[in-house]
């Protein structure tokens, strides 16, 4: 049933439904900006993670936005390690194979360009332009920051991609 609903309801609509369902004033997501009544807990409760004091292996309560479901890495952009929103000027950002939560956040704090080799797959998310990262088609120094996560392992000529980036 869940897969059927996902196939007939666009991602944008599902996100808006979650925004309505979880609406409240208790929390505000730093990535997508949604005001929600609750946040989900994150992390795993495996004893080995606690026993070995694994960095990032702890459980955190009220840590995950129920609207955009950011991964820990995406979340880091918004509230932990990369305070891009606090930079004095508006950085020009190229976001390759954009994930929704990061796309929303980066769109709000930068001169943002989302890009993918298959931009049609992002119609529900927003504007994404065609870009082959082995030949990105933008002049040198067009961007201050390129965000390219979980992409290179899918590119046969990753050496060309790295030289472009």
65 is an interface residue for Zn ion by CB under 5 A: yes
State the helix-helix crossing angle for 100-109 and 72-79, rounded to 10 degrees: 20
Nearer to Zn ion, 35 or 92 (CB): 35
What is the three-state SS of the chain? CHHHHHHHCCHHHHHHHHHHHCEEEEEECCCCCCEECCCEEECCCCHHHHHCCCCCCCCEEEEECCCCCCCHHHHHHHHCCCCHHHCCCCCEEEEECCCHHHHHHHHHHCEEEEEECCHHHHCCCCCEEECECCECCCCCCCCCEEEECCCHHHCCCHHHHHHHC
CA distance 136 to 18: 35
Smallest distance, Å, CB 109 to Zn ion?
Answer: 14
Site for Zn ion in 14-33 (CB under 5 A): 29, 31-32
106 is an interface residue for Zn ion by CB under 5 A: no
Smallest distance, Å, CB 70 to Zn ion?
Answer: 6
Smallest distance, Å, CB 22 to Zn ion?
Answer: 10
CA distance 23 to 46: 31
Smallest distance, Å, CB 23 to Zn ion?
Answer: 12
67 is an interface residue for Zn ion by CB under 5 A: yes
Q: How many residues bind Zn ion (CB under 5 A)?
A: 7
Site for Zn ion in 114-153 (CB under 5 A): none
Smallest distance, Å, CB 34 to Zn ion?
Answer: 5
Nearer to Zn ion, 67 or 93 (CB): 67
Nearer to Zn ion, 101 or 131 (CB): 101
Position among 68, 102, 136, 146 found at the interface with Zn ion (CB under 5 A) = 68
Interface residues with Zn ion (CB under 5 A)? Answer: 29, 31-32, 34, 65, 67-68
């Amino acid at each position: 049933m869940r897969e059927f609903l996902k196939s007939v309801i666009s991602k944008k609509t599902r996100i808006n439904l979650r925004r309505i369902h979880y609406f409240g004033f208790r929390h505000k997501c730093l990535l997508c900006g949604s005001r929600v009544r609750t946040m989900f807990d994150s992390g795993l409760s495996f004893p080995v993670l606690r026993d070995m004091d694994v960095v990032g292996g702890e459980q955190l309560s009220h840590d995950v936005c129920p609207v955009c479901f950011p991964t820990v890495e995406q979340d880091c952009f918004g509230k932990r390690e990369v305070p891009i929103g606090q930079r004095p000027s508006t950085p020009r950002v190229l976001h390759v194979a954009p994930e929704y939560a990061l796309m929303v956040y980066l769109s709000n704090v930068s001169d943002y360009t989302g890009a993918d080799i298959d931009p049609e797959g992002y119609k529900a998310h927003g504007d994404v332009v065609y870009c082959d990262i082995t030949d990105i088609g933008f002049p040198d120094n067009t961007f201050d920051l390129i965000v390219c996560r979980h992409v290179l392992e899918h590119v046969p000529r990753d050496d060309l991609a790295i030289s472009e980036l």
